[in-house]
């Protein structure tokens, strides 16, 4: 009997880790026979709660709120909040499980958690989003705190939502503490936090390419998504001399063969962040670009692919198309965007492949830096935070190599990330006993 059989995304994430970590456990006496993985897959706590709110017409709605507190063995729970209609226990448990390994890889003292709601911010007014966020926090506040659990943003939760959530927490608790990350600059946020996941993903890919004597210069890059991670991955790849030719959302993909330069990206940010519109609107201003309704970008020829939208958005067929078209590097900006079949395809083709728990860890790492600045009541400069982010991405890359090198020299970054993330958490579990 499979425990959690009704949670396919969670099982997928656990399976991917178990496949690489179980052989490692079997080879290492100290971890053997201690049921460590069993202790890692069960959340320390899973909280589910009612979120009632009133829309602009006075109608009452009820959404479901969640917080999965997966592991606090190396630090307070840390991980984002996702507001999207697909949110359920399976999705949040997969994300929380991944988060434990990711946070361990950052070298910072953070445990893992994840939360959110099946609330859909799309098409809602600012006032409706505010009322929802306030209601959500009137329950969540009792489960979090700067030394207990520090949530952040994720899909559907950006600076607007973090502001509303923080405002209600501050009011109820009557204290100004670093209980959320991704805050605005004037009220405790960190420079580079908005950019960190997208930049970090590109820094990770840059490390992989450099090891092969290669760079982003002159490369054609496809990016999926057009939210926070996609926008800043596009910005950094362009700054490093690459040409980004695609962006997407859940309705379709735009292909701009001339490249999405800084001016065009500013327009994308206006469409997505200010107007809260659709990526298809890009072609209204740039008619030479094409729009593929209902399609992902993976059939577009590229050297480097950066999936930055959502889980399981790139399947085995997509992976075949990418490798056939000459793609040499895939670096996950989203969490688990590539299906297991797609990952196998990349590994068989021996192309560079980075799993999200390593390559998108720059976001939570910079959240860790935001927490440190909040504790110090001090702010580092843009350059200081960016340098620390680069250093952390390099160190994660090197940890992956330590545990991921195959006898033929190919780096299996999936195995490398899983084992490196596992070791630190497992050692803490052993030291703390059966708790
Ligand atoms: P945003 O909400 O800013 O953007 C999400 C993007 O993905 C949007 O373009 C959205 O399109 C698209 N998308 C969402 N769901 C789907 C779907 N089912 N099919 C196709 N496209 C979809 O979120 P983020 O950029 O913050 O997050 C993107 C990914 O990165 C997620 O997997 C997240 O977990 C991961 N991540 C984010 C971090 C962060 O710091 N923000 C840190 C680490 C990982 P649409 O507008 O149509 O919904």
Q: What is the ipTM of this complex?
A: 0.98
Ligand 1: residue of 182, 228, 369 to mutate (most ligand atoms within 8 A of CB) is 228
Residue 247 CA to ligand 1 center (angstroms) comes to 12
Please give all residues whose beta carbon lies within 6 A of any atom in ligand 1, as ranges: 153-156, 158, 197, 225-230, 249-251, 308-310, 313, 333-335, 360, 363
Q: For a pocket test of ligand 1, which of 227, 292, 311, 367 has the largest count of ligand atoms closer than 8 A to its C-beta? A: 227
Q: What ranges in 116-158 are assigned the alpha helix state H?
A: 126-140
Q: Which residues contact 209 (CB under 8 A, 6 or more apart)?
A: 215, 216, 329, 352
Dihedral-angle region of residue 75 (phi above 0 means left; psi in -120 to 50 means alpha; beta otherwise): left
Domains of the chain and CATH, by start: 42-176 (3.40.50.10860), 198-359 (3.40.50.720)
**Which of 158, 192, 309, 359 for mutating ligand 1's site (highest number of atoms within 8 Å of CB)?**
309
Element (H, E) at 247: strand 243-249
Which residue, by CA, sits nearest to atom 29 of ligand 1?
334
Query: How close is the Cα of 279 to the center of ligand 1, in Å?
Result: 13
Nearest CA to ligand 1 atom 36: 334
Q: pLDDT in tens for each of the 435 residues of the chain?
A: 578 999 999 999 999 999 999 999 999 999 999 999 999 999 999 999 999 999 999 999 999 999 999 999 999 999 999 999 999 999 999 999 999 999 999 999 999 999 999 999 999 999 999 999 999 999 999 999 999 999 999 999 999 999 999 999 999 999 999 999 999 999 999 999 999 999 999 999 999 999 999 999 999 999 999 999 999 999 999 999 999 999 999 999 999 999 999 999 999 999 999 999 999 999 999 999 999 999 999 999 999 999 999 999 999 999 999 999 999 999 999 999 999 999 999 999 999 999 999 999 999 999 999 999 999 999 999 999 999 999 999 999 999 999 999 999 999 999 999 999 999 999 999 999 999
Give pLDDT, residue 1: 59
Residue 223 to residue 244: CA distance in whole angstroms: 7
CA of 376 to the centre of ligand 1 (A): 31
* Atom number of ligand 1 nearest to Cα 196: 40
The dihedrals phi and psi of 292, each to the nearest 5 degrees, come to -110, 100
Centroid of ligand 1 to alpha carbon of 174 (angstroms) = 32
What is the CA(199)–ligand 1 centre distance, in A? 15
So which residues are the catalytic ones? 114
The pLDDT score that the predictor gives to residue 2 is 77
pTM for this prediction: 0.97
Report the candidate in 169, 192, 191 with the shortest Cα–Cα distance to residue 180. Answer: 169
Distance CA 435, CA 416 (A): 28
């Amino acid at each position: 009997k499979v425990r959690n059989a009704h949670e396919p995304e969670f099982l997928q994430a656990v399976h991917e880790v178990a496949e690489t970590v179980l052989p490692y456990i079997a080879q290492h006496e100290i971890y053997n026979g201690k049921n460590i993985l069993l202790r890692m897959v069960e959340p320390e706590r899973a909280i589910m709660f009612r979120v009632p709110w009133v829309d602009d017409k006075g109608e009452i709605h009820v959404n479901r709120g969640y917080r999965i507190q997966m592991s606090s063995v190396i630090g307070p729970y840390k991980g984002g909040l996702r507001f999207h209609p697909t949110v359920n226990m399976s999705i949040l448990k997969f994300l929380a499980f991944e988060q434990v390994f990711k946070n361990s890889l950052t070298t910072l003292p953070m445990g893992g958690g994840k939360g959110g709601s099946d609330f859909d911010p799309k098409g809602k007014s600012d006032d409706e989003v505010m009322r929802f966020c306030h209601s959500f926090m009137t329950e969540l506040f009792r489960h979090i705190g700067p030394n207990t659990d520090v949530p952040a943003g994720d899909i559907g939760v950006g600076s607007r939502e973090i502001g509303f959530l923080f405002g209600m927490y501050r009011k109820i608790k009557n204290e100004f503490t670093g209980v959320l990350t991704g805050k605005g600059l004037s009220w405790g946020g960190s420079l580079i936090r908005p950019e960190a996941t997208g930049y970090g993903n590109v820094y990770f890919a840059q490390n992989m390419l450099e090891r092969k004597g290669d760079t982003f210069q002159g490369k054609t890059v496809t990016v999926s998504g057009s939210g926070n991670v996609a926008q800043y991955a596009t910005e950094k790849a362009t700054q490093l001399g690459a040409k980004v030719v695609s962006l997407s959302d859940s309705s379709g993909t735009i292909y701009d063969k001339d490249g999405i330069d800084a001016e065009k990206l500013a327009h994308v940010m206006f469409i997505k962040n200010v107007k809260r519109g659709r990526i298809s609107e890009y072609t209204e201003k740039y008619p030479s670009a094409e729009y593929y309704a209902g399609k992902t970008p993976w059939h577009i020829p590229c050297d480097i692919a950066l999936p930055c939208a959502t889980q399981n958005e790139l399947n085995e067929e997509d992976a075949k198309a990418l490798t056939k078209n000459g793609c040499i590097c895939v670096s996950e900006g989203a969490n688990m965007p590539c299906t297991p079949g797609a990952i196998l395809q990349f590994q068989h083709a021996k192309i560079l492949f980075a799993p999200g728990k390593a390559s998108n860890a720059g976001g939570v790492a910079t959240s860790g830096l935001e927490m440190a600045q909040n504790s110090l009541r001090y702010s580092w400069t843009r350059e200081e935070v960016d340098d620390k982010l680069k250093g952390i991405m390099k160190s994660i890359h090197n940890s992956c190599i330590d545990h991921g090198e195959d006898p033929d020299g190919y780096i299996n970054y999936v195995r490398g990330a899983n084992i490196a993330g596992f070791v630190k958490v497992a050692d803490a579990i052993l030291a703390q006993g059966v708790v």
